[in-house]
Structure 1
Amino acid sequence: MTAHPPPTPPFRDPDLPLAKRIDDLLSRLTRDEKISFLHQFAPAVDRLGVAAFRTGQEALHGVAWMGPATVFPQAVGLGATWNPELVRRVGDAVSREIRAMRARDERVGLNVWAPTVNLLRHPLWGRNEEGYSEDPRLTSAIATAYTRGLRGDHPEYWRTAPVLKHWLAHNNETNRDTSSSSVRPRVLHEYDLRAFRDTVEAGAVAGVMPAYNLVNGRPNHVSPYLREQLRTWTDEDLLVCSDAGAPSNLVDSEHYFDTHEEATAAALLAGVDSFTDHGTDGSKITARVRGALERGLLTEADVDTAVRRQLSVRFRLGEFDGYEEAGAFDTPEHRALAREAAEQAIVLLKNDGLLPLAPDTRIAVVGLLADECKLDWYSGTLIHRRTPLEGLCERFGAERVSFAEGVDRVRLRTPEGTCLRVPETGDAHDRVPGAEGALDPALLAGRTDLPPLTADATGTELALIDWGDGVLTLRAPDGRYLSVADDGWVRASADQPGGWVVQETFRLEPHGNGHLLRHLGTGRPVCVAADGVKVAAPEGTDPTVFELEVAERGEDAVSRAASGADVVVVVAGNDPHLNGRETEDRTTLRLPAHQRRLLRAARAANPRTVLALVSAYPYAVDPAALPAVLWTAHGGQAAGTALARVLAGDVSPAGRLPQTWYADDGDLPDLLDYDVIGSRQTYQYFEGTPLFPFGHGLSYTRFGYAGLTARAEGEAVRVTFTVTNTGGTAADEVAQLYVRPAGPSVVRPRRALLGHARITLAPGGSEELSFEVPLPAFAFWDVARDGWRVEPGPYELLAGASSEDIRLRTTVTLAGEPAAPRPVVARGLDAAGFDEQRGAEIVDRGKVSGDAVTPSGEAAELLYQACDFGPGVTGVTVEVAGTGGTVALSLDGGPALATLTLTTPTSGPYDYTRLTAACAAEGVRDLRLEVRGPLRLAHVGFSG
């Protein structure tokens, strides 16, 4: 008899509907197999021919952590391009490299954890480099473009499956797994949710990743908004991947649940589909899921729901159809795109005519970043690189460029008269300016095969690099950084500071007549012993007290270089692994003191000084005495070439600031104050004078704006105006359209971005721009109706070159929907639905859903406007929980109508009780509540 091959299972049939294919495969999986899929590293199911699958491939601005790749500018730099089409092409290049790298390394995943759409609300956030903008519309435009590039252009199969990070209201590294962001409803809907929503609705998003923090007292990994908001925005099955270790945090650090079984069940029910925890070991998560099933906290149907979402993504990636897409890696096109992106990301902040530089200019390039091409935590390994020094040498000629790094050259002398010495290795690690390639990739922290430092009479002259806040790095003459491996020995063994725990940083602490050299990675002081130099054991030998001998101050070297040049370019900024990064927020907007000294030295020696800031975030610098200032994020592999081309005028700068640059730390709210409305944060609400405003950026030419018109047409407002290049240089302009409600009934943005366009114009060229703005773009979240509302009346439309450089204005009147008073008799008041507050914190009403309000200090004041008490009420009821306190009510700022006191503590924070009192009110009045004491107020009701 002829053997017939087994029939193709339905899940392998590409002609069947996707839902039927998923149903079929799901039905073939055993319960244990389905449970195993819930961990980040889902194992293979060999009997079905189903391969192993891993969620998570970092690709924020290129393929990260997988070796050599094209490195594009940091995300904040991509945001500074204000160019969605460019960013789409970057995403397309990154996804092609992922496919190419996966073809030779199965560890490379197709589920991409990018982009980050957290809004850059506060410039001291350590992860500022990962976001695009402080504005939700600009962020969503750039994020949508990147996800479309990552998704690819195949009509059916996705090249990669992008996951947005980090849901939700996440802007602090300080206590990031235990701090709670208090987010009122208007801020939630108008600000934090908006960037996620617009990007998801655009249709190229595979899922989201919850953030470590809590929102309104509830961990994001059990957020009700995953169900109530996210999953209502699309018909696609979205995959929710936990952040690393966050499922365990629910018990271990947040103490939100008593057991891991409860926590895992709650996260799964809230919508988490893939658990990133315990590295590659899935046994703990699967055991917790089984325990939750045994305790009745979950059903198998709940597991099926999560697995279905995972399978949906895997089918879309073409896994079960044998779909493979030939990728492209490090192509000439990708290299050119990296340079184009770096050029478009450069922002000219100030120019008194010094730029562009003439071809025969003699340039001194100085500063700690002058010969650096810094990577960050989410970078790939550089294949190509250009530092500012290399770029300027290439563009102007090495004979016209001089260099001074500006580091202090020091020796560290012991009380015995010896100095620290770096042993020779026989390896040459110096780079030649202008040469391709990075340092030896094996020269990384953690190496133990190199000899440790010793001490002798002459020692080694070290470069001491001061990054601010007392954080130092020390570098040997051949470019190797001092580092400490697990064995505790100090070696010159790293090409750059880096790693999750940076082992290349030290601090000099005054001690007696000298200094202790404390290693920051271990927290231990350095000691010199007979067999070498190591960090002292906790109860080991006494630490060595060093005398710091300065052979040359960095300022002196900068002064010499600056005095002999026509123009000085000071390259200042940050190392993305130090003093502001994941796990560490910044403490100040100011440049580190050492870099301020270098800038002063350069300016004193040569007034023709250009400050080029290369940084992951804004700085507060005084531009008054500087003829030119530029900023760029760390620009990837082509950063130096891009900077040189802009300085030379080969490219007219057209980057624009994606966030406000504040003049002083005093302009900033507390890092944990997420109420952008109440504390007047971001360009939308800030009432002070910024150092440089949102959207700011200059050009080497001039642009004129004319002919602004606006008219309401059906469900949109059509806005047009014309931009003309009135100068003599071909250049890009970023035209920006803002709106400002005239006479709003509640606090609204002083201006809010409606749209923008980056266009290229030749001298004398013009282009008419047209924007179709849907009416919902004019809406605000009306807490009285718990929904969106377009307020009727006039809206001022503003067109210009930045949020403050407004060239044209016109007004359009919208019919909108009239306000209605709060129907407090019928519905009462949810405590968190206030119009204004002082001293209030929103917390979780219950562990699953709902909000309550509690004082953040001694008392909280809450205002609820236009409450309709009808013909009259006679009583009030409040729902409260806690150990004691009072709720006092008054109308229109008058005397207290009623005071309700919780005298008997409730059994827990979620065990609410009702307090009642007499209360007489009628008509439409503003209601004020004063809440005192350790209680939670959830709801206020009234009776007739």
Structure 2
Amino acid sequence: MNIKKTKSILVIFITTLFTITTLVGCMSYEVTSHDEKKQKKQYPFKNTSLPIKTRVDDLVDRLTLDEKIAQMFDKSPAIDRLGIPEYKWWNEALHGIARAGKATVFPQAIGLAASFNEALVLDVATAISDEGRAKHHAFLKEENNAIYTGLTYWSPNINIFRDPRWGRGQETYGEDPFLTSRIATNFVNGLQGTDKHYLKSVATIKHFAVHSGPEFSRHSDDYHVSAKDMMETYMPAFAQTIKNTKVSSVMCAYNRVNGEPACGSDELLQTLLRDKFNFDGYVVSDCGAIADFYDEKSHHIVDSPAEAAAKAVQSGTDLNCGDSHGNTFAELKLAVAQGLIKEEKITQAVKRLFLARFKLGMFDPAKQVPYANLSLETVGSKEHLALTQKAAEQSLVLLKNDGTLPLKKDTVVALIGPNADNKTVLIGNYFGKPIETITPRNAITKMIGSENVHFATGSSLTGKVYSHHQPIPAEFFYHKDYKGNIKPGLMASYYDAAHFSIQPALKRIDANIDLHFNKSPIDGKNINEFSAKWQGILKPNHTAHYEFSTQNIKVTLDGEEITNGMKLQANKAYAFEAQSTIKNYWHSNVIEPEIQLSWLDQDENLAQKAISAANKSDVIIFVGGITANLEGEEMPLEIDGFSHGDRTHINLPTSQRSLLRTLSKTGKPLIYINLSGSAIALNWLDEHASAIIQGFYPGESTGTALSRLIFGEFSPSGRLPVTFYRSVDDLPDFKNYAMDNRTYKYYQGEVLYPFGFGLSYAKIGYKDMAMSISDTRELTVSAQVSNKSNFDADEVVQVYLSMPDAPVKTPIRQLANFKHITLAANSTQHLSINITPEKLTYIDNLGVSQPYHGRLQVSVGSGQGIKFNSDNVLKNSINLL
């Protein structure tokens, strides 16, 4: 045989054999891979017919220690081998779906509480969870798993608003634990839904516990409270909400309580929360709270991240929200190795977390989940916009009226004030992008015609903080084209990443910087991280000192970054550069981001324009107050009256007070509308204004609600959920958490407007009060309630109790029950309200509830009986044996 031919045959044979072997290997790999995929679907945790607990146990028992630990971070990664997708736990729904693009914006939480309407709050929370579900499933279809796309909402905030200086008090339901628990119960039930098997969403009550300012020192403060204050004030809202709702999640607070950090306290998280209150959900830390355990500038009660992580989990914190410190729970593996914690504790935490995800239906076919078919059409629907208007109307509190209100629609008004046309004041904090933003100026002009409205901003909000910035118009921006010719607009370069180290993916001309992105500017698809730069020329048309306002953008003019005001010359060309980074992070999310550059002329004589408007009008409507840019969560601002989000006093800002005094000299009737998230000392206005209305950041329909109230299209029914003090001078130190001389229950001084107070256009009267008590110590209070006017009116009936014969100090009075009713014009209702036996108890000095014996003083009516005629509130007493 030819040797060459033999070699060729041999090569062919070997090559063929290798090819066959390779193919067989490939086929074998493909079969194995297919079997693994098939087997993955057959895991017991995928079996929807099994009990959820069984499924959770099966899944978690398959995880390695590393995989378990990774799931305990708010940005939980995917577990590909088991088909578990990644999940971002952080989402917000305080008064509407927040930070996730467009959503109906309802009144801020404190405004919902002012309605004293449980049914309304249930409807609002149901609408919010409808929109949340619809948006979540739309995000899933787009494969968008960014922060704020999930179903685990870190709302509501049920801390007690014990001090008016706290900037986040706007997020709460006020100063009374019972009102807070009733509003919270309905809000949580609305978020979590009514299905027996699935959760509509997860509600998270926060911040557990003893947490209500100051903001600046919350990472290091240690609050010492008595057992009596703990169980009388700080715990009841948590205990009752857990009892009434089976809420799925609790967020622990930043501060220490009696020496222990709230997120690492056995007393709080185990003895009280789980053992006493029977909470069986998961606990999430406030963001960065675990790092505070070891941070030298914070609590610093341990020396290492591993110790901090172990202490938190050992006490009962299951999920870590990290911040600039990163994920402290990543140190749990080291903590296990060092013997600081056992893996069983980690397993327990992870099972609690997956239980919530299973209850949300995240591992089940969509057709089995009753909420998965909610359409995006529900977001901002006509029904939801009507509901937010209704909620806004019921949140408004009429504090004074000498008969000036309601106005006739042919009245010529001077509409003045820094909040009269300020969109930001409508939404408070933790908000979404409104569907239809209606300011007072919008609505009043629409109602009575532009010819009857003379508008002027009048003053700053406070000092040099203004509210009337406007986007810089396109007519002032130019650029040079490649030939050196001056053309309108700015040269924009967009980068497909949250940095500028790559080539731009898109170049275009932007007319100005007032940009709202529903989709990516680069590919028109789902929004993701991107960056942008702008270059060109800014040429103003008149000389002035300009104040700039930026959103998601940094700007330089002639190489100087604009951080404060700047004097610009008319027709001078200033070299303009700007850049923006949209990043998947809590303060700059990637869902429908906005980039904006605005300005205003600081040289404008605002006061003179306001006086001119007043002189041309029949009545002055002044819309003032503050905004959530002044009060809110930990912020750098430090100016008169405001410090790091809190308030140092509660006076109306000087710039507004000065203008109001000047306007009063015109002799025109003055209607003052205060928009704020907290109490303002309206002492001068109480004496000089014809009417005063309080609005607690009433949501996107603020203007419509206010205009309808002012012009008599409904009678106001809102009630104050907090006390309006005359000042904070005789209140205890802000950091003192003892309840002596705080809130309506314990304050000894004279207040401006009491908790529960609010006027009506209708003449509401009470008579024929009666009381009876059952063998089980349930008290029934009844009375005749009459509306002796031509106005249909809502009324908030309130029952208060006092226990003068208790052997320990008890509240001066406390709200025992309330009912929101509607009274037709010239009608009477017989009303009965039950007071449960637990309300006929007091808290002793050891923090233990005791049955009360002795005289029980009872009042029923429109409020506490302060600032009312005797017809508004009836009082009586009964002996409890």
TM interval, short-chain normalised: 0.7 to 0.9
SS of equivalent to 1:124: coil
Does structure 2 retain, via aligned residues, the 8 Å contact 1:447–1:485? no
Deviations 1:507-566 (A, max 9, x none): 8xxxxxxxx99xxxxxxxxxx9996799xxxxxxxxxxxxx9975432211111011111
| Counterpart code for 1:256 | I
In 2: Cα distance, 1:421 partner to 1:394 partner: 25
Match of 1:127, SS state, is helix
Task: Give the SS at the match of 1:350.
Answer: strand
Q: Which residue of 1 aligns with 2:442?
A: 390
Task: Indicate yes or no: 2:823 matched with 1:782.
Answer: no
SS of residue in 2 equivalent to 1:651: coil
Give the match for residue 812 of structure 2: 750
Aligned counterparts of 1:780 and 1:558: Cα–Cα separation in 2:
54
> Are the counterparts in 2 of residues 706 and 721 from structure 1 also a CA contact under 8 Å?
yes
Note the alpha carbon deviations across 1:561-588, whole angstroms, 9 max, x for none.
0111111100001121125544421111
Contact 1:482 1:490 in 2 (8 A): no
- The more displaced of 213-222 and 481-490 is 481-490
Match of 1:47 in 2: 81
Q: Is the 8 A contact 1:607 1:626 kept in 2?
A: no
For residues 533 and 641 of structure 1, do their structure 2 counterparts lie closer, same or farther at Cα, with a shift above 3 Å needed?
A: same
Q: Quote how far apart the aligned CAs of 1:693 are.
A: 0.5
C-alpha distance after superposition, 1:450-507 (max 9, x if no partner): 6587899x52464xxxxxxxxxxx25xxxxx367955765999xxxxxxxxxx99748
- How far, CA to CA, are the matches of 1:688 and 1:128 in structure 2? 22
Q: Does 1:810 align with 2:849?
A: no
Change (3 A) 1:440 1:602: farther
Of 82, 102, 107, the match for 2:136: 102
C-alpha distance 290-452 of structure 1, shift in aligned 2 (>3 A): farther
Aligned counterpart, 1:347: 397
Offset from partner CA, 1:677-720 (integer Å, 9 cap, x none): xx311000111111100011001001111232222211422222
Structure 2 counterpart of 1:888: none
Match of 1:158 in 2: 199
CA–CA separation in structure 2 for the residues paired with 1:408 and 1:692: 26
Pair 1:654-2:717 in alignment: yes
The answer to whether 1:305 aligns with 2:339 is no
Aligned to 2:641: none
- Could you give the per-residue CA deviations for residues 322-362 of structure 1, whole angstroms, max 9, x where no partner exists? 32522321111111111111111110000000000112111
Deviations 1:105-153 (Å, cap 9, x if unpaired)? 2331101100000111101101121111100000111111111110112
Counterparts of 2:325 and 2:96 in 1: how far apart (Å)?
Answer: 23
- Distance in 1, matches of 2:264 and 2:207, equals 14
Alpha-carbon distance in structure 2 between the residues aligned to 1:556 and 1:31: 69
On the 8 A contact 1:421/1:455 being kept in 2, the answer is no
2:105 maps to which residue?
71
Q: Distance in 2 between matches of 1:207 and 1:408?
A: 41
**Is 1:262 matched up with 2:307?**
yes
- CA separation of 1:386/1:504 partners in 2, compared to 1, >3 Å: closer, same or farther? farther
Q: Distance in 2 between matches of 1:378 and 1:788?
A: 36
Across the aligned residues of Structure 1 and Structure 2, the Cα RMSD in angstroms comes to: 3.3
Q: Deviations over 1:884-936 (max 9, x none)?
A: xxxxxxxxxxxxxxxxxxxxxxxxxxxxxxxxxxxxxxxxxxxxxxxxxxxxx
- 2:792 matches 1:707: no
**1:257-315 deviation digits (Å, cap 9, x = unpaired):** 11111111000011100011147965x532x0001000011111100110111122112
Q: Which residue of 1 aligns with 2:259?
A: 217
Supply the distance in 2 between the matched residues of 1:592 and 1:625 (Cα, whole angstroms): 17
Contact 2:273–2:279 (8 Å) recurs in 1: no
Residue type matched to 2:206 in 1? K
Letter in 1 for 2:220: T
Q: Which runs of 5+ in 2 are unaligned?
A: 1-30, 140-144, 465-471, 479-487, 490-512, 519-529, 579-599, 636-644
CA distance in 1 between counterparts of 2:807 and 2:726 reads 31
1:441 to 509, 512, 516: 516
1:32, distance to aligned residue in structure 2 (A): 1.9
CA contact (8 A) 1:562 1:606 kept: no
How many residues are matched? 735
- The answer on whether the counterparts of 2:537 and 2:573 sit within 8 Å (CA) in structure 1 is no
Alignment CA distance shift 1:280-1:36 (3 Å): farther
Taking the aligned partners of 2:555 and 2:102, their CA distance within structure 1 comes to 29
The reply to whether residue 369 of structure 1 matches residue 419 of structure 2 is: yes
Alpha-carbon distance in 1 for matches of 2:804, 2:187: 35
TM-score normalised to the size of structure 2?
Answer: 0.78
Encode CA deviations 1:422-454: one digit per residue, 9 max, x unaligned. Answer: 9912799xxxxxxxxx974369x9975265878
Q: What is the identity, as a one-letter code, of the residue corresponding to 1:249?
A: D
* Pairing partner for 1:601 from 662, 671, 695: 662
Given that residues 482 and 491 in structure 1 are in contact (C-alpha distance below 8 angstroms), is that contact kept between their aligned partners in structure 2? Answer: no
Match of 1:326 among 368, 373, 384: 373
Give the 3 Å change call, closer, same or farther, for CA 365–686 of structure 1 in structure 2: same
Q: Deviations over 1:34-88 (max 9, x none)?
A: 1111111112222222222222211111111111111111111111111111111
* Partners of 2:704 and 2:452 in 1: CA distance: 16
- Flag the 1:562–1:486 CA change in 2: closer, same or farther, 3 A: closer
Alpha carbons of 1:549 and 1:75: their partners in 2 closer, same or farther (altered >3 Å)? closer
CA change 1:451–1:90 in 2 (3 A) is farther
Choose which of 741, 744, 748 in structure 2 pairs with 1:680.
741
Aligned pairs for 1:188-337 (under 5 A) are: 188-223=230-265, 224-232=267-275, 237-252=280-295, 253-278=298-323, 285-286=329-330, 288-322=331-365, 323=369, 324-327=371-374, 328-337=378-387
Measured in 2, the distance between the counterparts of 1:110 and 1:490 equals 46
Between Structure 1 and Structure 2, which shows a larger proportion of strand residues? Answer: 1
Question: Which deviates further from its counterpart, 310-319 or 112-121?
Answer: 310-319
Q: Deviations over 1:803-834 (max 9, x none)?
A: 2346112223223xxxxxxxxxxxxxxxxxxx
Q: Is the 8 A contact 2:555 2:577 kept in 1?
A: no
CA contact (8 A) 1:567 1:606 kept: no
The counterpart of 2:223, out of the listed 177, 181, 184, is: 181
Asked if the contact 2:627/2:675 (under 8 Å) is kept, the reply is no
Greater alpha carbon shift after TM alignment, 761-770 vs 295-304: 761-770
User: Is residue 624 of structure 1 aligned with residue 687 of structure 2?
Assistant: yes
Q: Cα deviations across residues 729-757 of structure 1 (Å, max 9, x unaligned)?
A: 00101110000012322211111000111
Q: In structure 1, what is the Cα distance between the partners aligned to 2:421 and 2:558?
A: 25
- Give the Cα–Cα distance (whole angstroms) in 1 for the partners of residues 115 and 255 of structure 2: 30
Letter of the structure 2 residue corresponding to residue 34 of structure 1: K
In structure 1, what is the Cα distance between the partners aligned to 2:419 and 2:563? Answer: 17
CA distance in 1, matches of 2:75, 2:413: 53
Aligned counterpart for 1:459 among listed residues 520, 526, 543: 543
1:37 is aligned to 2:80: no
Counterpart position of 1:855 = none
Unaligned runs of 5+ residues in structure 1 are 413-419, 429-437, 463-473, 476-480, 493-502, 508-515, 518-527, 535-547, 816-944
**Corresponding residue SS for 1:572:** strand
Richer in helix (by share): 2
Distance 1:589 1:5 in 2: 65
| Cα 1:504/1:210, change in 2 over 3 Å | farther
Return the letter of the residue paired with 2:516: P
Change (3 A) 1:280 1:175: closer
Structure 1 residues 16 and 63, CA gap change in structure 2 (3 angstroms): same
> Which residue does 1:400 correspond to in 2?
452
Distance in 2 (alpha carbons) for counterparts of 1:653 and 1:329:
28
Q: Provide the secondary structure at the position in 2 that maps to 1:812.
A: strand
Question: What is the distance in 2 between the residues matched to 1:792 and 1:254?
Answer: 44
Mapped contact 1:166–1:208 kept (Cα < 8 A)? yes
Partner of 1:720: 782
| Residue number in structure 2 paired with 1:820 | none
Q: SS of 1:76's equivalent?
A: helix
Aligned equivalent of 1:643: 706
**For each residue in 1:375-403, what CA deviation from the matched residue of structure 2 results, as whole angstroms up to 9, or x when unmatched?**
34311112211100001011112221110
